[in-house]
């Protein structure tokens, strides 16, 4: 019986091949994340990437850090009928300017909260909301972060981003910034913000390469990448620049002699000089875009 089953399956697959048909594939519910190892470049499966040991090794566990600054956790409704969380630093006087901050693949941890406060202090009269894309979960080890990324669903991520945009109010104007996984989300956020998008900063995140989607951007993009990054390679960044040009959009790229995660002070591969320069450029860009 076993031999007959295998033979029958083989015959069925051969028949599909002869008819130039493919077995039905399930609808994709995952999205491309911060980067893709070479052996997974042909795929678009977030779960496979997150589970891959080579992918996980691109991220060293962050050094222990505890945030003790200002800010409050808030809840907001999401477009899928649920709710989501964010870390809010509210402008001291009423403002319709908002900076949305997007986490690395670890989650909304204390390092991201500190980065949000740094931007808040330097931008002055701007509301800063660090969006929790993992619904309260935070990882401290690569394997743990991989599991969280495996569980991330593109519809849920989009609903959280739409909820954050709605939470800011109908008169809000946005800029966004994110690192790694959040770098990709920063660009996706700008796409969702539509005409309310005023600026977008991407730190070594996997860029959107769909020219038709890029055509819908209503803002330019500032990107920071590392020439030693084995995930978001210089080649993929060059392709992004070419696709932005095809879409008729402006992108400014600064490539540093650094590796992935170079701007994270809790990351063992932190590059102080590159991080300081990138932040200086990002701050000047955001001040201009938000007129802060």
In this prediction, residue 63 carries a pLDDT of 74
pLDDT tens across 158-187, in order?
999 999 999 999 999 999 999 999 999 999
Alpha helix locations (H) across the chain? 2-18, 46-51, 53-57, 110-123, 142-150, 154-167, 181-193, 211-214, 234-246, 272-290
**55-110 tens-digit pLDDT:** 566 677 777 788 888 999 999 999 999 999 999 999 999 999 999 999 999 999 99
pLDDT, tens digit, 9 for 90 and up, residues 200-229 = 999 999 999 999 999 999 999 999 999 999
pLDDT at 58: 60
Assigned token pair, 185:
């989300």
Q: Where are the domains of the chain?
A: 31-290
Phi, psi of 166 (to 5 degrees): -65, -35
CA–CA gap between residue 292 and residue 273 (Å, rounded): 25
Contacts 24+ apart (CB under 8 A), 35-41: 35/180, 35/204, 35/206, 35/229, 35/231, 35/232, 35/236, 35/260, 36/206, 36/231, 37/230, 37/231
CB 200 within 8 A of CB 221: yes
As a whole-number percent, the residues of the chain with pLDDT over 90 amount to 67
Check pLDDT > 60 for residue 8: no
* pLDDT score recorded for residue 267: 81
Average pLDDT over residues 229-235: 92
* Mean pLDDT along residues 121-137: 97
What band does 53 get if pLDDT is binned at 50, 70 and 90?
low
Better-predicted residue by pLDDT, 4 or 67: 67
- Cβ-contact 249, 221 below 8 angstroms: yes
- CATH 3.40.50.1820 for the 31-290 domain, yes or no: yes
């Amino acid at each position: 019986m076993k031999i007959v089953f295998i033979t029958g399956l083989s015959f069925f697959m051969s028949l599909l091949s002869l008819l130039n048909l493919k077995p039905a594939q399930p609808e994709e519910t995952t999205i491309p994340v911060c980067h893709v190892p070479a052996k997974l470049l042909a795929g678009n499966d977030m779960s496979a990437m997150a589970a891959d040991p080579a992918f996980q090794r691109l991220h060293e566990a962050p050094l222990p850090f505890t945030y003790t600054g200002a800010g409050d956790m808030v809840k907001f409704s999401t477009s899928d009928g649920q709710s989501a969380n964010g870390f809010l630093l509210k402008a001291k006087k009423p403002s319709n300017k908002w900076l949305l901050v997007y986490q690395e693949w670890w989650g909304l941890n204390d390092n991201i909260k500190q980065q949000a406060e740094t931007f808040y202090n330097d931008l002055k009269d701007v509301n800063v909301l660090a969006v929790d894309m993992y619904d309260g979960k935070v990882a401290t080890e690569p394997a743990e972060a991989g599991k969280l990324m495996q569980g991330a669903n593109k519809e849920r991520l989009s609903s959280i981003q739409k909820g954050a945009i709605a939470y800011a109010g109908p008169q809000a104007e946005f800029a966004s910034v994110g690192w790694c996984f959040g770098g990709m989300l920063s660009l996706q956020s700008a796409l969702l913000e539509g005409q309310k998008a005023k600026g977008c900063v991407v730190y070594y995140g996997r860029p959107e390469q769909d020219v038709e989607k890029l055509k819908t951007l209503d803002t330019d993009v500032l990107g920071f990448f590392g020439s030693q990054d084995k995930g978001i390679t210089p080649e993929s960044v060059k392709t992004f620049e070419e696709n932005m040009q095809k879409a008729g959009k402006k992108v400014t790229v600064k490539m540093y002699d650094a590796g992935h995660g170079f701007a994270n002070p809790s990351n063992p591969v932190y590059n102080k000089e590159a991080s300081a320069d990138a932040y200086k450029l990002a701050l000047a860009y955001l001040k201009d875009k938000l007129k802060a």
